[in-house]
Structure 1
Amino acid sequence: MSAILVTGADLAPQALALLQGFEMIYAGKTPTQDDLLALCRAHDPVAIIVRYGKVDAAMIDAAPSLQVISKHGSGTDTIDKVAAKARGIEVVAAAGANAAAVAEEALALMLACAKSVVQLDARMRAGHWDKATHKSLELHGRTVGLVGLGAIGQRFAKMADAMGMRVLGFDPFAKDLPAFIQPASLDDIWRESDVVSLHCPLTDENRNLLNAQTLAQCKTGVIVVNTARGGLIDEAALLEAVRSGQVRSAGLDSFAVEPMTAGHPFQQDPRILLSPHIGGVTSDAYVNMGTAAARNLLAVLDRRAVAA
């Protein structure tokens, strides 16, 4: 029986129903690279469903029967696509399966930043009543700049438009954009946005896209939201921009190193709202991503079986 390795502890029952006839191998909740490598060597999977951790060249080399790597989600930056291509292994992603969940998380973080939700809650619990002194930011009529206009970015754009925000968007690959998204350059995004929200995949070209230079180009008091990949932001530069007031606040669901360890400087600044990369983790998205990942890998295996 051919094996499928899941780099996590579970898979939605609906996805498992699609994969009957395969031996399912689970790596656990927090697999290390050594754990994953050992499982590849022991079981020689025909497919890998990627939930946590990375699929590196060593894993690919350790699984001679491997034909497809299927992401349980949309981002494939944790997969060594060069090594996979060299072996003729297909890499597929569940694009759009968690779009609603992540877009809602971005909206929640933007609103929490603009309305000081977390800070005011803490002040109330400490016995304060800041009605006479606090003013939040009204988002109606403000400009939000989106970097990345895939399924998640466009869904978030629709929400922002419904709130009466002006929506600027940068994505060199996006086509046939709805009328409420105004195409813009990155320079336009930095210069004109009251909120900058990141929705693009991480590549070698855009690593540290938000850095000291680009943050300095933004409006004073800009809000930064990141529900994409932590590597898009130079974290030291963002922290300095928050401390100086150049950035009003930041809502972050992803980080350069995950999981975040105790003592990270972000944990000490209440103007940086932290979320443990759970934007795409809802009960609905769990099913959607699992079934999409299963269908994607089955499509590859079926196509290859016919070709053989």
Structure 2
Amino acid sequence: MSKTILVTGPDLDPSAAQLVADRGYQTVHTPPYADSAVISDYLQQTGAEGIVSRMGRLDAAVMDAAPQLKVISKHGVGVDNIDIQAAAERGIPVLVATGANAVSVAEHAIALLLAAVKRILPLDAGLRAGRWEKPGFSGHEIAESTMGLMGMGAIAQATGRMAKGLGLHLLGYDPYAPDSAFEELGVTRCETVEDLLAGSDILSLHCPLTEQTRRLLNAESIAQMPKGAYVINTARGGLIDEAALVAAIQSGHLAGAGLDTFASEPPAADHPFFAVPEIVLTPHIGGVTRQAGARVGVDAVRGIFQILDGQPVAPERIINRKLLAAAQAEPAKMEK
């Protein structure tokens, strides 16, 4: 047995690394955004029993190259880089660090919102270039506007709490969230995506990327939003049809956007977003703070050891728990 935890990326908070060392294990890191072949090589060379998934895709081929692999623990909550069905078929639980980075990502969502609406970046650039653009300037006040939350998980709820402090009204859509998630924040629950879009002066995306939600925000859905609305995305870039978003801003239907994620990361040097000054961009770092990094890293590592030790894990942290149950039930059916 190899007492190794593989981290698919260059960083792990020192508190999480110390937890690994205290258990007599070592961490080995892949390069950032390593492809499946490189990750497979690292798994074979190290014999790692657990993975802290940060960057790079973990697919069936990676898992088949590592029969000793017992658990995958996401450094965060987005698992679109992990084939959770393949993991379930191989009896590998996939864990998420639910809520551990919620405050940091929510703060970033609000920062992107304010930067985009208040036109902070072009005004800063103009001033540095010698322009005093106060004459003729007309800004926009966000108080009393309506923010729509697409998804009502921990990050959305944290974003909503902060948005209320800015005087925003809140709408929300999430067919899987209990009524209590809406009621505790005073969020008006929308029964359809269309209702949320039509009522959102600011649309903040907080849903996972699945085949059902891929390009959820496209030309047709954007057209349902009010003229002059803004889009904020701290979730996954694949939720947005990027060409449609650019077209909507250039046509004047949308006023701007604040985006922390891209459909493909890192983006190409000639990505169309870079030519649109109304879009504020950051490199998927909303949850990358010292405080969130410590909480997420420790949660990810602790979950690995809970699985390795046969200890119980909170059901909501096992993102493929239903798929695991189904995969385990199938052989039982065949035996009857």
Tell whether the structures are fold-level matches, with TM greater than 0.5. Answer: yes
Q: Is the 8 A contact 1:161 1:180 kept in 2?
A: no
Whether 1:43 and 2:43 are equivalent positions in the alignment is: no
Whether 1:251 and 2:258 are equivalent positions in the alignment is: yes
The 2-side partners of 1:254 and 1:274 are apart by 8
**Counterpart code for 2:144:** G
Structure 1 residue 258, shift from structure 2 partner? 0.3
Counterpart for residue 57 of structure 1: 60
The 1-side partners of 2:17 and 2:276 are apart by 42
Counterpart for residue 188 of structure 2: 182
Counterpart for residue 31 of structure 2: 28
The 2-side partners of 1:86 and 1:68 are apart by 13
Q: Is the 8 A contact 1:226 1:254 kept in 2?
A: yes
Counterpart for residue 244 of structure 2: 237
Using structure 2 for the length normalisation, give the TM-score: 0.88
The 2-side partners of 1:63 and 1:179 are apart by 44
Query: For the aligned residues, what is the CA RMSD?
Result: 1.3
Whether 1:155 and 2:161 are equivalent positions in the alignment is: no
Counterpart for residue 11 of structure 1: 12
Q: Which of 272, 279, 298 is the matching residue for 2:279?
A: 272
Identity of aligned residues (%): 46
Structure 1 residue 128, shift from structure 2 partner? 1.6
The 2-side partners of 1:24 and 1:234 are apart by 37
Counterpart for residue 74 of structure 1: 77
Counterpart for residue 295 of structure 1: 302
Aligned length: 305
Q: Per the alignment, in what secondary structure is the counterpart of residue 105 of structure 2?
A: helix
Structure 1 residue 121, shift from structure 2 partner? 0.8
Structure 1 residue 304, shift from structure 2 partner? 6.6
The 1-side partners of 2:104 and 2:185 are apart by 23
The 2-side partners of 1:304 and 1:149 are apart by 29
Q: Per the alignment, in what secondary structure is the counterpart of residue 303 of structure 1?
A: coil
Q: Is the 8 A contact 1:44 1:62 kept in 2?
A: no
Using structure 1 for the length normalisation, give the TM-score: 0.96
Q: Is the 8 A contact 1:209 1:234 kept in 2?
A: yes
Q: Per the alignment, in what secondary structure is the counterpart of residue 250 of structure 2?
A: helix
The 2-side partners of 1:11 and 1:293 are apart by 10
Q: Is the 8 A contact 2:37 2:62 kept in 1?
A: no
Structure 1 residue 135, shift from structure 2 partner? 1.4
The 2-side partners of 1:79 and 1:64 are apart by 16
The answer to which of 149-158 and 123-132 deviates more is 123-132
Structure 1 residue 10, shift from structure 2 partner? 2.9
The 1-side partners of 2:148 and 2:88 are apart by 34
The 1-side partners of 2:91 and 2:138 are apart by 57
Q: Per the alignment, in what secondary structure is the counterpart of residue 86 of structure 2?
A: helix
Q: Which of 98, 101, 110 is the matching residue for 2:101?
A: 98
Q: Is the 8 A contact 1:94 1:292 kept in 2?
A: yes
Q: Per the alignment, in what secondary structure is the counterpart of residue 19 of structure 1?
A: helix
Deviation string for 1:211-267 (max 9, x for gaps)?
000000110111010000000000010010011011100111000010011111111
The 2-side partners of 1:295 and 1:182 are apart by 36
The 2-side partners of 1:251 and 1:190 are apart by 17
Deviating above 3 A after TM superposition, structure 1's stretches of 4 or more consecutive aligned residues are none
**Counterpart code for 2:13:** A
**Counterpart code for 1:161:** K
The 2-side partners of 1:200 and 1:135 are apart by 33
Structure 1 unaligned blocks of 5 or more:
none
**Counterpart code for 1:278:** I
Q: Per the alignment, in what secondary structure is the counterpart of residue 231 of structure 2?
A: strand
After TM superposition, list the pairs within 5 Å mapping 1:112-127 onto structure 2.
112-127=115-130
